[in-house]
Amino acid sequence: MPYVTSIERLGRKEGLQEGRKSGLLEALRAAIVEALEARFDAVPGELKAKVDAIADEQELRRLHRKAVLSSIEEFGQEMK
């Protein structure tokens, strides 16, 4: 078994944390689009692109609630 230094262990740990966060953000983006599609059938590509550009977890959670509770027009206003 190869020796793993403390720095390597730290790097792996940080990499795993970053990967998990990235996966969470991707799942939140997908949930927003899915909620909009379930409610309104078609979602404009512009809205999808704007959702895909967001990298803040709390903002994505807020937008998910909006996607479930508001009209497509109101959701679009939130994205401006």
Domain boundary assignment for the chain: 6-78
> Confidence band (pLDDT; 50, 70, 90) for 4?
low
Q: What is the pLDDT of residues 36-46, one digit of tens each?
A: 999 999 899 99
Q: What is the pLDDT of residues 18-34, one digit of tens each?
A: 756 678 999 999 999 99
Q: Which spans in the chain are helix H?
A: 6-40, 45-52, 57-69, 72-78
Q: Report the C-alpha gap between 63 and 47 in whole angstroms.
A: 12
Contact indicator for 35, 58 with CB cutoff of 8 Å: no
Global pTM? 0.75
**So what's the pLDDT on residue 29?**
96
Query: Percentage of the chain with pLDDT > 90?
Result: 62
Backbone φ/ψ region at 72: left (φ over 0), alpha (ψ -120 to 50), beta: alpha
